Amino acid sequence: MTTSNRPDADLDSLPALPRDDSGPVFKAPWEAQAFAMALELHRRGVFTWREWAGTLAAEIAHAKAQHAWDDGSHYYERWLGALEKLVAQKLVVGEADLSRRVDEWDHAAKATPHGKPIVLQRR
């Protein structure tokens, strides 16, 4: 599966991408959204696929170095970490804005009962 005509956009080059016969597999909506954001930022030229794969591989390696056991269920947490790093490095979103937004999501998630949609409101 290729996301563009550029040779560096091959999803098969991504480390440990959870997939089945039809493509990527997501357990939660946020995983699909993070996946889509990375694809869209790549499509817009914010980063190359090689940069993305390298940043994701570094996130996975860092987790392994920290002895963070992972049976694959934390893959998209690593994906999100890589996405956050690249948008900050590429100045898509300033680090202060990104940090504030992460805090807003964390607060909203903690305030939401299990099974209910998370409502994000800027504080």
Alpha carbon distance 123, 111 (integer Å):
13
Co-location of 105 and 118 in the same domain: yes
Judgement on whether residues 53 and 32 belong to the same structural domain of the protein: yes
CB-based contacts of 38, cutoff 8 Å, min separation 6:
52, 79, 82, 83
pTM equals: 0.67
Residue spans of beta strands (DSSP E) within the chain: 19-20, 23-24
Q: Which residue has the tokens 């817009």?
A: 44
Burial-class residue 86 by CB neighbours within 10 Å (0-12, 13-18, 19+): buried
| Least confident range of 21-25, 87-91, 99-103 | 21-25
19 within a domain of the structure (yes/no): no
The string of pLDDT tens digits covering residues 37-60 is 999 999 999 999 999 999 999 999
The confidence band for 29, taking pLDDT boundaries of 50, 70 and 90, is confident
C-alpha–C-alpha distance, residues 123 and 101, integer Å? 10
Report yes or no on 6 lying in a domain.
no
Do the domain assignments include residue 74?
A: yes
34 or 98: which leads in pLDDT: 34
Percent over 70 (pLDDT), the chain? 78
Give the model confidence (pLDDT) of 67-95 as tens digits: 777 777 788 899 999 999 999 899 888 77
39 in a structural domain: yes
With respect to residue 2, please indicate whether it lies within any of the assigned structural domains: no
| Residue 11 located in a structural domain | no
In a domain, 20, yes or no: no
What does the pLDDT read at residue 1? 38
| Best CA proximity match to 14, nearest among 63, 73, 78 | 78
Does residue 75 sit in the same domain as residue 101? no
In a domain, 22, yes or no: no
Print the domain residue range for 115.
94-123
Tokens representing 56 are 């994701």
CB 75 within 8 Å of CB 16: yes
Same domain? 116 vs 98: yes
Average pLDDT, the chain: 81
pLDDT cut 90: percent of the chain above it: 32
**What pLDDT, on the 0 to 100 scale, is given for residue 23?**
67
CA proximity to 46, closest of 5, 1, 83: 83
Polymer length in residues for the chain: 123
Q: Are residues 98 and 86 in the same domain?
A: no
Provide the number of structural domains found in the chain: 2
Whether 64 and 107 map to the same domain: the answer is: no
Assess whether 35 and 68 both reside in one domain. yes
